[in-house]
Amino acid sequence: MNPKWLLLLSPQVHFKHNTNEKIVDVDIAQQMREKIMSEKPAIRTREKWVDDVKVIACILVVLGHFFQSMTKANILPKNDLYEWFNITIYYFHVPLFFICSGYLYQKYSKVNSFKNWSKNVTKKALALGVPYVTFTTATWVLKKIFSSSVNDQIGGLRDTLLLHPTAPYWYLYALFFIFLVTPTFSSVKMATVGMIIALAAKILILTNEQAVGSIYSVSTVLSNEIWFVFGMCICVFGIQPKGKSVQGIICGFLFMSLSVVVYMAEIHSNIISFIMGLLACTAVILIMADIEDKFGKCMDFLAKYTMPLFLMHTLFAAPMRSALMKVGIENAFVHIVLGLSISFVGPIVAARIMKETKWLEFFLYPNKVLPKSNIR
């Protein structure tokens, strides 16, 4: 490893003064961080804990959408267990994606000038825009064709693409606008200011959502910028999540306990939901970073397909559910087994097929098909 990066990851270096035997704190690590951040971005390598966290988030997204559709179709009852699970995962599963994106953006990009910003926006418009338009359109078409048997109706295509994105693709929509307004941080001071601004935006949306109007692109940036900047700050401050599983378990225990209390007491508070999200995200990151070697092969395999799973799980699960109901199969166990199987297997098989056909892979990973775009 480059010696500079060893210093970057060190929290602080202390020297003892020989004459008065006092400890003089010299924050060499901070100086090195700022120097390295002002240089070229790091060469991109796999981040195991980031991959694992994205896998956990992706699994929760798939499970959340699947069980929502099952209850809306009256295949499963809306009991307390379902309601608690559904509310609980929405505290943190998508925020985990934003945190990971922010971390990778800060570590592997340099966006601190108009020239760099314009290049980055062009890259992200392609990397996020192509799959967003492709799979939003596919979902829209399927919902129009099977409008009599879908759980949620959808508006016009132009409205859906530009103004009111549908689940789960709203994440790509929101992420693009976050890239649009967020530079990379060149110093710890800049990161601190960025965190304060993001926190202020979150407080604004939590306490007075009507103040920002009904423009989705604005409200979604204000709401999710905090998670993105949180990920950036993990990188800037040199925070190492590995080796902190005890703290992660404590945060996880607090989160699970509070989630039960909040649900049972029917507490509805945006601020409490945000705090719950912080606890849960911290728990997942710290725990997964410390057990990354325990589930290596399984997690590594799924990490290759988080994008296809995220984009395509509903495109496979919904037709499966509709087909089973068309032939009169309403047994919940059959729906769960077949529905979850196709939710995971379908996107993976589709992604492998698309990989063998370059023009199809373009709709998933345009940056791989167009390497000159150099999209991160």
- Please give the share of the chain, as a percent, with pLDDT higher than 70: 83
Joined together, the tokens standing for residue 72 give 């809306």
Contacts of 228 (CB under 8 A, 6+ apart): 98, 99, 101, 102, 105, 175, 178, 182, 198
Predicted confidence at residue 317, as pLDDT, reads 92
Query: Angle of helix 306-326 relative to helix 296-303, nearest 10 degrees?
Result: 80
Mean pLDDT over residues 56-64, rounded?
Answer: 96
Q: Cα–Cα distance between 376 and 369 in angstroms, integer? A: 13
Predicted confidence at residue 10, as pLDDT, reads 40
Global confidence as pTM: 0.84
Do 318 and 367 sit in the same domain of this protein?
Answer: yes
Joined together, the tokens standing for residue 132 give 């967003």
Average pLDDT, the chain: 84
Q: Cα–Cα distance between 1 and 233 in angstroms, integer? A: 22
Do 25 and 173 sit in the same domain of this protein?
Answer: no
- Tokens 């984009």 belong to 311
Contacts of 130 (CB under 8 A, 6+ apart): 362, 363, 366
Parent domain of 23: 1-39
Q: Cα–Cα distance between 325 and 67 in angstroms, integer? A: 16
Do 140 and 16 sit in the same domain of this protein?
Answer: no
Cis preceding linkage at 168, omega within 30: yes
68-94 pLDDT, tens digit each: 999 988 899 889 999 999 999 999 999
149-187 pLDDT, tens digit each: 555 656 788 888 988 898 899 999 999 999 999 999 999
Do 12 and 74 sit in the same domain of this protein?
Answer: no
- By C-alpha distance, which of 261, 165, 291, 273 is closest to 220? 165
Do 238 and 333 sit in the same domain of this protein?
Answer: yes
Predicted confidence at residue 157, as pLDDT, reads 86
Do 20 and 88 sit in the same domain of this protein?
Answer: no
Do 44 and 193 sit in the same domain of this protein?
Answer: yes
Q: Does the pLDDT of residue 23 top 60, yes or no?
A: no
Name the least confident of 145-154, 212-221, 301-310, 343-352.
145-154
Do 304 and 339 sit in the same domain of this protein?
Answer: yes
Q: Does the pLDDT of residue 321 top 80, yes or no?
A: yes
Our count of domains for the chain comes to 2
